Amino acid sequence: MTLRRTIVALFVLGVSALPSAAIGFSDYSGRLRNQFERVRVEGQADPAAGKLVKLAVKTIGSMESPKLESSYAAELGGMAKVAKSLEKSFPGDALLNARLANLVDLYAADIDAARAGLAADAGGGDTAAAKALSKVDKALAKVTPEMPASGKLKGYAKAAKALGTRLVPGTTARDAVYAISAATVTAPASSFDFDGDLSPDNALAAVDLHLDGAGFDLQAALDGAVVDRPTHAVLWLWAIESFDTDPEVWFGFANGQDEDGNPLDNFLGYEVFRLTQAPSPIDGFPQRRGPSPVASGGQFDVAMTGESFEFAGFTVPFEVSALLRGTMTSGSVTGVLGLAIPAVAFVDWLETLGMPSGERDAVLALADLDLDPDPGNDAFSCAFTITAVPAEVVLP
């Protein structure tokens, strides 16, 4: 892929990730600007690429306006400018046109839904609604199938202006993707109650202490496993109406593959990971999932079940719930990740991290959970304090 096509792919990937009724483009512009900055630095010898980057960054910057917080029409107008810039620079690009068409469809669905409500009010004798409906239909009548995406978005902006507060950015659910960028062994008291005795369990902390005495730095090995591996744990949140309080947000784990060969940019907030597992064919989100209410300040507590996934080189089996308690914002997810890990698989994982094989039996003796009907403990309670930063994903 040429540098110019890379820029288009990065930009349109970010644009196409906008959900229906996007929550103000300013929520996305920082991430997109970082993508452009990376390409600009890598391609300083390409004047055409540099010119396109400057144009796109300027367009995005012009959209960071307080009026976007209350004007869906302003958001659409800004998107029309972005689309026009891309159409001018890359005429006839099939991938670009397909992504822009998808973006148009997202906004069109919102406008159609708002128009239906307006028409119902107008049919009920609301004269103000009837007047607004006339303006909406006049604007929509000028949007034709032959128009480029930029023209359609401009026409929809006029319709959105007539619809007014029936289209308010920030009231429609969105999704957000994060990559786990750091994990540390959690203190025993900060874990979860795995066995139902009303006290937190964390055999991982005991293992960490034992191995430290044996001369093995588990935390250093864990740091390397999180950062250096090509496969990373991806946390995907969806059905988000607010990052502060929300009656139900869905959380899911998947794995993403870093394909650019550069681990240094994986956790800067703009990296693109290719999912290694196919998402649900029903809704396109990860198979391992769970819902949770979000309390004031973004606090949540969720259990996710379903598909197996890899965390720091260890495969978490589908039978084991992934427990996550923490705080979500648009810029990060922090908290404690809890896993009940089968004993043999756990020590196998520790040995891959560098634990001396002579410590195997001593570590197995620290297992504290019984996951099967047989007597004896066969699993470890584990808790990791994690940080996850924004990322982008593409489907496998």
Quick one: 192 and 150 in the same domain? no
Pairing of strands 246-258, 288-294: antiparallel
Chain-centroid distance, C-alpha 254: 11
CA pair distance 301, 259, nearest whole angstrom? 32
- 250 and 119, same structural domain? no
State whether 83 and 145 are in the same domain. yes
Model confidence at 11, pLDDT cuts 50, 70, 90, reads very low
What does the alpha-carbon distance between residue 285 and residue 237 come to, in Å, rounded to a whole number? 9
What pLDDT score does 2 carry? 42
Position 46 pLDDT exceeds 70: no
pLDDT of residue 57: 57
Q: What is the signed CA dihedral for 129, 131, 137, 140, rounded to 10 degrees?
A: -90
For the ranges 4-13, 123-132, 175-184, which has the lowest average pLDDT? 4-13
Q: What is the mean pLDDT of residues 254-278?
A: 85
What domain count does the chain have?
2
> Both 218 and 351 in a single domain?
yes
Asked if residue 67 and residue 112 are part of one domain, the reply reads yes
Cα dihedral 92→105→162→11 (10° resolution):
-60
- Region of poorest pLDDT, from 59-68, 195-204, 239-248: 59-68
| Contact call for residues 45 and 71 (beta carbons, < 8 A) | no
pTM of the model: 0.65
Same domain, yes or no, for 109 and 195? no
DSSP code per residue over 264-277 = GGTTSS--EEEESS
User: Could you list the residue range(s) of the whole structural domain that residue 197 is in?
Assistant: 174-394
217-233 pLDDT tens trace: 999 999 999 988 889 99
Taking residues 17-35, report their average pLDDT: 39
Q: Are residues 299 and 344 in the same domain?
A: yes
Confidence at residue 44, expressed as pLDDT on a 0 to 100 scale: 55
Q: Are strands 174-185 and 246-258 parallel, antiparallel or unpaired?
A: unpaired
Segment 314-334 shows an average pLDDT of 93
Residue partners of 88: CB distance under 8 A and separation at least 6: none
Q: What is the pLDDT of residues 290-320, one digit of tens each?
A: 999 999 999 999 999 999 999 999 999 998 8
In the predicted model, is pLDDT for residue 169 greater than 80?
Answer: no
